[in-house]
């Protein structure tokens, strides 16, 4: 049995925890057709029809299942996937991994799928075969301005951090800032921070300020390892605003940095520093609050 087909059974188990018997019987029949067919039509048809049997509702895997899943797919966050995404991933993994035919089929799915079908495919990148060969497809997918598709690649997905070259990684993060997507949901954001990205983020902030517009507070997370006199001036500007969320972000950036001259700036904010020390003020809390204010 192909490794992918065997691993797909984990996704069926996930469906079995949440879906009706009617839906499970349907997808078992479709999976068998895909496994036994020499042509891709069975997958194309089932991939499209899955929306009739599975809901666009997120699932809540049990802790036992989550642990089992992590042993196979590190950092995979299926709790953000809908049941429809899981069903489509299960169907794709039933496709035998004959490289040339596999890519021809998958490329057709990517190029003809609707937004929800593309969402499922891009989110499933970490579990698909031929990972390195899929890098161009993922990078190309980031051209979209549709958050549903962009988020499937950039957020809660281990694929970019694992495979993207620095330039493409930086481009993805900058676009997330431009689209005001939650940076705290980008996996391994801190470990992949780099000076080029920090400089790009600062330039973006200056452009926003010049246009009389605000900067998303999570942006300052990107400069933490590189704070110097120049970045300190930017943080001083942020601290001078009346926006408490922006101030929290600047204080947190300074608190986490190793640039000692900037430490005196946060002496005026003992309550925020205390909140940081208690774990109440974090990049996630700042990002979550910012997203709520945009609704």
- When pLDDT is cut at 50, 70 and 90, the band that residue 67 belongs to is confident
Nearest to 218 by CA among 188, 241, 187, 185: 185
In a domain, residue 88? The reply is: yes
pLDDT at 6: 54
Name the residue range of residue 2's domain. 1-129
pLDDT at 1: 36
Q: What is the mean pLDDT of residues 214-221?
A: 96
pLDDT at 140: 97
Cα gap 176→160, rounded to integer Å:
13
In a domain, residue 254? The reply is: no
For residue 179, pLDDT beyond 50:
yes
pLDDT at 2: 43
pLDDT at 123: 98
pLDDT at 5: 47
In a domain, residue 261? The reply is: no
Strand partners, 24: none
Q: What is the mean pLDDT of residues 207-217?
A: 95
Share of the chain above pLDDT 70, in %: 97
In a domain, residue 119? The reply is: yes
- When pLDDT is cut at 50, 70 and 90, the band that residue 97 belongs to is confident
In a domain, residue 18? The reply is: yes
Share of the chain above pLDDT 90, in %: 88
Number of domains observed in the structure of the chain: 1
In a domain, residue 87? The reply is: yes
For residue 4, pLDDT beyond 70:
no
Q: What is the pLDDT of residues 262-282, one digit of tens each?
A: 999 999 999 999 999 999 999
In a domain, residue 179? The reply is: no
For residue 121, pLDDT beyond 70:
yes
Q: What is the pLDDT of residues 244-266, one digit of tens each?
A: 999 999 999 999 999 999 999 99
pLDDT at 59: 85
For residue 61, pLDDT beyond 70:
yes
Measured over the CA atoms of residue 102, residue 80, residue 77 and residue 142, the dihedral's sign is: positive
pLDDT at 38: 85
In a domain, residue 270? The reply is: no
For residue 62, pLDDT beyond 90:
no
For residue 206, pLDDT beyond 80:
yes
Burial class (CB within 10 angstroms; exposed 0-12, middle 13-18, buried 19+) of 125: buried
């Amino acid at each position: 049995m192909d490794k992918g087909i065997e691993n797909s059974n984990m996704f069926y188990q996930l469906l079995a925890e949440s879906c009706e018997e009617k839906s499970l019987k349907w997808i078992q029949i479709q999976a068998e057709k895909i496994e036994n067919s020499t042509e891709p039509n069975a997958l194309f048809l089932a991939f499209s029809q899955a929306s009739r049997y599975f809901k666009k509702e997120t699932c809540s895997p049990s802790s036992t299942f989550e642990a089992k899943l992590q042993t196979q797919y590190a950092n995979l966050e299926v709790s953000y996937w809908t049941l429809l995404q899981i069903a489509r991933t299960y169907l794709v993994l039933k496709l035998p991994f004959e490289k040339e035919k596999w890519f021809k089929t998958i490329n057709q799915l990517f190029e003809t799928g609707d937004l929800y079908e593309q969402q499922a495919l891009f989110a499933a990148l970490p579990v698909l075969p031929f990972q390195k060969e899929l890098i161009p497809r993922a990078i190309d997918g980031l051209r979209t301005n549709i958050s549903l598709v962009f988020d499937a690649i950039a957020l809660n997905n281990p694929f970019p951090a694992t495979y993207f070259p620095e330039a493409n990684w930086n481009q993805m993060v900058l676009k997330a800032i431009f689209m005001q997507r939650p940076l705290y949901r980008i996996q391994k954001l801190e470990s992949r921070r780099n000076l080029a990205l920090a400089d790009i983020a600062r330039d973006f902030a200056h452009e926003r300020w010049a246009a009389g517009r605000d900067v998303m507070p999570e942006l300052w997370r990107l400069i933490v390892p590189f704070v110097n006199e120049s970045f300190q001036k930017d943080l001083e500007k942020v601290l001078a605003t009346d926006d408490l969320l922006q101030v929290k972000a600047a204080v947190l950036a300074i608190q986490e940095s190793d640039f000692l001259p900037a430490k005196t700036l946060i002496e005026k904010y003992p309550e925020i520093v205390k909140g940081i020390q208690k774990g109440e003020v974090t990049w996630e809390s700042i990002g979550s609050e910012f997203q709520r204010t945009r609704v």
